[in-house]
Structure 1
């Protein structure tokens, strides 16, 4: 007699572990797609992070210095490919396209990211990993914790990969590949479609340099071996001061390092007066000469208008003067700014940045340099 016939078959529904694997798959897929989209919107920002990491590794591992520095010229391509891979693999996981291969590729990707975030947190070398671009700023240990959770979820999916059914969704993955690479190339050639930086069009730079509300602090004090917190500094002298902690962290100024100067002194406040068009020159050695005729024509067209053109650069005096002479821009005065600030303001080299009374009115990649009439129309709106 067959033992199986002694009791009726009981339907237990979907196994709990299969449900858990599906939930993990959805969570991992969504996080990777979101992270990839945020970064692919601004691949130059991710490129800057890769450069930071490689320069740090070159310093910290002298025997591999030349290897890491040799990777720096390829960081923009790496940025686009890595960001696109996050989206493509996230879509493939959600669409159940070759799940066994997809989940292993995700594991290798998250292992790489986890190493970077651990290095940032433990050695305090790159304080912002750029995991979610400039949309969401995470502290190093928070970024590392996020990657650890994702790693655990991916390992769980790998452990139950045989439960995942493969579907014929290659067309969706192929379409995603074309669209993501297209987005990355567009962002490199024409600036990010969505500008999440504090110097974006519509932002007031003077307002961004101030707290959104009065900053509030709490005082951490110690007395008789016990730690207490106070909103006001205690009058009791028996307390020993330990630290002062900012309570309303989000109220801090969004812009803390904007400063413009020349040999005559500070020019920062003057940049907020009237209409000013800044030609951003981050590096004269890494510039597209074909972009300069349009900029020179723009400068000529603004003569006699209310818009004053200036060059804003982080390069040295000799290089910028030679640049002005070579490209017939000697009539445009130049001012200095921090290199990191210029990278944040403008993702292309060169680029044009229009301000009216401290409010950003326009930003243009050198591939889309406007004409003088467009600039005049914008400042008169």
Structure 2
């Protein structure tokens, strides 16, 4: 009786965590794909070059992975095909544990993306979390003969519903934008404010004397102390955005882009931009020629490539460069459109949902 209760509790904890983790990532499959590309880059360089072949399939692999998290979590909780489910979860957690250990030990990928952008964990925190899950799944695995399948029809239909639901959400998120934006550039965020600390940063001085370390609020006057490190006491006050910048051959234009009313066309990869994906953007640009709204083009590419693209499209807009990671963080669409008003993110659009010029004027008041 006690053993059955313990196993049921473990099933609820493990299944619930997998569902929670999977749903967060189903909401943003493109973000998961970006994280997988980071891992494939690292593995192809450190372990074996063949990992490079997985990069073009990162999105598809990511969708399969996050959908499996949700479905297996549901199957574990409802008790459907438990032995298969425990085997599958065991293999999955072994893979995740390897990833998080590799990230933590070698300091390669500083954010594992276990919970997408919703909950940030350090590599070691992610590893310890996976160890706890591994232990619980191991208990289920060793007790798998005691697990009794739920053969009721509702269990089957619940599992099937979770499969259809999670795949549908993933496809909709890919073809549009994440339903819930957990990133620093979500709608409503004022970028200039987010680039500043939310409170004065407080530091402590770690000093050493006679082999013993001591912490001081101010640098000690006693010259016998040897400086060890400067410790930040309130990390939560650090700027939420620390790497936003745009520039071209004439210099830095970050401050300018964050003032006034702006339509920002963002491109993560110029070579993958298809003409049919920017038809609506063409119309939007044409309709805003006489509006008091400035259109800028920002791409993670070289300035000559940006200038060539703008000239080919005959877009009379200013082109800027930006860091690829920043552009990918802001926009999960290639290309995508962001509306700014005095640095505040008003709206973000997938290229499929590009607004017309009148909608832009209404939103920005131009």
Deviates more, 1:224-233 or 1:331-340: 224-233
Cross-structure match for 2:213:
227
* Residue 230 (structure 1) shift: 1.6
Could you tell me whether the CA contact under 8 Å between 2:303 and 2:320 is conserved in 1? no
Quick one: distance in 1 between partners of 2:261 and 2:230? 41
User: For residues 132-147 of structure 1, what are the structure 2 equivalents within 5 Å?
Assistant: 132-147=115-130
* Residue 76 (structure 1) shift: 0.3
Residues 39-62 of structure 1: CA deviation (Å, up to 9, x unaligned): 11111111011101111111113x
Cross-structure match for 1:22:
8
* Residue 122 (structure 1) shift: 0.8
1:60 maps to which of 46, 53, 61: 46
* Residue 157 (structure 1) shift: 1.0
Could you tell me whether the CA contact under 8 Å between 1:292 and 1:327 is conserved in 2? no
Cross-structure match for 2:139:
156
* Residue 374 (structure 1) shift: 0.7
Cross-structure match for 1:8:
none
Aligned-partner SS, 2:239: coil
Matched, 1:304 2:290: yes
Quick one: distance in 2 between partners of 1:212 and 1:76? 35
Cross-structure match for 1:3:
none
Cross-structure match for 1:285:
271
Aligned-partner SS, 2:208: strand
Could you tell me whether the CA contact under 8 Å between 1:38 and 1:135 is conserved in 2? yes
Cross-structure match for 2:348:
363
1:83 maps to which of 55, 62, 66: 66
Could you tell me whether the CA contact under 8 Å between 2:249 and 2:303 is conserved in 1? no
Matched residue count: 363
* Residue 321 (structure 1) shift: 2.5
Matched, 1:93 2:76: yes
Aligned-partner SS, 2:263: strand
Residues 102-143 of structure 1: CA deviation (Å, up to 9, x unaligned): 011000111111111011011111111111111111111111
Residues 214-250 of structure 1: CA deviation (Å, up to 9, x unaligned): 1111211111221111222222222111111111111
Aligned-partner SS, 1:210: coil
Unaligned runs of 5+ in 2: none
Matched, 1:349 2:347: no
Deviates more, 1:164-173 or 1:113-122: 164-173
> Where has structure 1 moved over 6 Å in runs of 4 or more?
none
CA RMSD of aligned residues (A): 1.2
Quick one: distance in 1 between partners of 2:205 and 2:341? 41
* Residue 159 (structure 1) shift: 1.4
Quick one: distance in 2 between partners of 1:27 and 1:35? 12
Could you tell me whether the CA contact under 8 Å between 2:247 and 2:253 is conserved in 1? yes
Could you tell me the TM-score, scaled by structure 1's length? Answer: 0.93
Aligned-partner SS, 1:137: coil
Cross-structure match for 1:334:
319
